[in-house]
Amino acid sequence: MATETTTVTDLAEAAERQRRLELKELLNKKYKWIDWKWDLVFWTTAIFVVAGAADITKQLFAGDWDFWTDWKDPQWWPVVTAFATIIIPSTLQYIQWAAWRFPTGATYTACCLFFAAWVGRYFQWDLAATYPMNFVWPASVVCAGILMDWTLMKTKSFILTSLIGAHVWAIAVWAYNYVPLAAFLQPAHFMDHVVTVADVQGIAYIRSQTPEYLRLIERGALRSFLGETQYVSLAFAGTAAFVGYWIGQFIGRYLAVWPIRRYLKTV
């Protein structure tokens, strides 16, 4: 009986080894028509839809915090940015891992977003409306994308990536963008107040339709935080990113992959 079981197991293993050898052969198969141009066309044309999706998601979920240095506060900015920016990278991470087995989706989306955001800020905010770039620079999420893709590559699990990677994402987005922001948080004397350089930009560069009272700057009581708002916000940003990650997964799984070769109604 034991021998029989062993034989069946051996046969199954041998079949599986054979199947994987065939898959290896298939991986390296040269097709008659599917050449490198298909790869190039896919990667280049997808840039636009990915950039558009990532940028509109960021702009309409967290745009106000991203547009101006004086909105990049310790309480709200880390949370809304982490949530808004992780959604589409998560989608692409699923698509590119599931389809090509590339841990590239988050980084790819982050690079597309970098392109879209800087084009928008430079041509539309700086050149067209004369807001200086040092006031309207966009947050970059490329570093966070690399770390999240690396997490997926190591864990091979979307659940673990959502638990670990989303928190890594939240901290990396904040930390990476805090580096250029730091200089704008220095105190200066302006209009009989001690304010930050970012505040001066917000006051001086006139925004006729974004009055100061719209800005959410550490609103609320901030009770018992002992000045630790930043750290509490970062922890919550991880939670928000976790939620955003699974929204992104939903898009990838059910709006991008599930519909493949499915039809609404057979006529």
Partner 1 sequence: MAQAQAVQNAPRSSGDGSMTTGNPANPTDWSVGWHPLFWGCGLIMLANVFFWYWNYAFMFTAGLNSASAEFTMYYWTLFWGELIVLGVFSGVWLGWLIRNGRAIEGQECSPAEETRRIAILWSLIGATSLAIYLMASFWPNWDGSWHQTMVRDTAFTPTHIPMFYFFFPLSVILAVGTYIYGRFHIPALYGKDKGFPWSFFLLIGACVLECMAVAANEWGHSLWISEEIFSVPFHWPFVIYGWLAAGMFAVWGETLVRMFEVEKAEEDANPEASLESPIAAD
Partner 2 sequence: MGRRFVLGSERVNVSSNRYEMLDTFTLFGVLCVILAVVLANPPNVAAHGEAADEPFLKNMTTAFFNVSVSPTEIEVGEPVKVTGSVKILETWPHTLETPEIASIMPVVPGPVFVLKERFVNGTAAIGSFFAQKGGIYEFEMELVGKEPGDWHVHPGIAVYGTGTLIGPGEWVSVKPSDEPFSFPLTLMSGETIELSTYGGAFVWWWSFAGFVLGVAWILYWTTNKRTVTNLAVTVQLPVNDDAPDIGLITPRDHMWMNVIVGVTLVMLVVGWTYATSNAPVRWPQQTDWFTPEFISSGEKMAEARASEATYDEASETLEMKVQVTNVIESDIELKQLTMAMATFVNGPEAEQAKAGPSDFVGRLEVQPDGPIAPGENKELTLTISSSIFSEERLIPTQAPQQFIGAVLRFENGNDGHELVTVRSNVVPTQFRSTYLP
Q: Which of residues 214-233 bind partner 1 (CB under 8 A)?
A: 214
Question: Phi and psi at residue 189, in whole multiples of 5°?
Answer: -100, 125
Give the one entry of partner 1, partner 2, none that residue 258 binds, where binding means its C-beta sits below a cut-off of 5 to 8 angstroms depending on kind: partner 1
> What's the DSSP call for residue 124?
I
Nearest CB to partner 1, comparing residues 38 and 231: 38
Pair 113, 54: CB distance under 8 Å: yes
Q: Of 29, 164, 39, 142, which is closest to residue 96 (Cα–Cα)?
A: 39
Question: From CA 156, how far away is CA 149, in angstroms rounded?
Answer: 10
Q: Could you say whether residue 15 binds partner 2 (CB under 8 A)?
A: no
Q: Could you say whether residue 142 binds partner 1 (CB under 8 A)?
A: no
Question: From CA 149, how far away is CA 103, in angstroms rounded?
Answer: 5
End-to-end Cα spacing for the chain: 54
Nearest CB to partner 2, comparing residues 4 and 33: 33
- Which region, judged by CB under 8 A, interacts with partner 2, from 4-12, 58-66, 214-222, 238-246? 214-222
Q: For residue 48, give Cα distances in angstroms to 7, 109, 168, 255.
A: 54, 10, 26, 18
In terms of residues, how long is the chain?
Answer: 267
Among 61, 190, 225, 236, binds partner 2 (CB under 8 A): 190
Nearest CB to partner 1, comparing residues 24 and 154: 24
The site map against partner 2 for 80-119 (x = CB under 8 A) is -----------------xxxxxxxx--xx-xx--x---x-
Q: Could you say whether residue 203 binds partner 2 (CB under 8 A)?
A: yes
Q: Could you say whether residue 144 binds partner 1 (CB under 8 A)?
A: no
> Shortest distance, CB of residue 175 to partner 2, whole angstroms?
6
Instruction: Say how many C-beta atoms besides its own lie within 10 A of residue 136's C-beta.
Output: 20
Q: Could you say whether residue 255 binds partner 1 (CB under 8 A)?
A: yes
Q: Could you say whether residue 251 binds partner 1 (CB under 8 A)?
A: yes
By CB under 8 A, the count of residues binding partner 1 is: 73
Give the one entry of partner 2, partner 1, none that residue 15 binds, where binding means its C-beta sits below a cut-off of 5 to 8 angstroms depending on kind: none
Place of tokens 């620079």: 137
Residues facing 187 on adjacent strands: 196
Q: Could you say whether residue 116 binds partner 1 (CB under 8 A)?
A: yes
**Is 94 exposed, middle or buried, given 0-12, 13-18 or 19+ CB atoms closer than 10 A?**
buried
Give the one entry of partner 2, partner 1, none that residue 120 binds, where binding means its C-beta sits below a cut-off of 5 to 8 angstroms depending on kind: partner 1
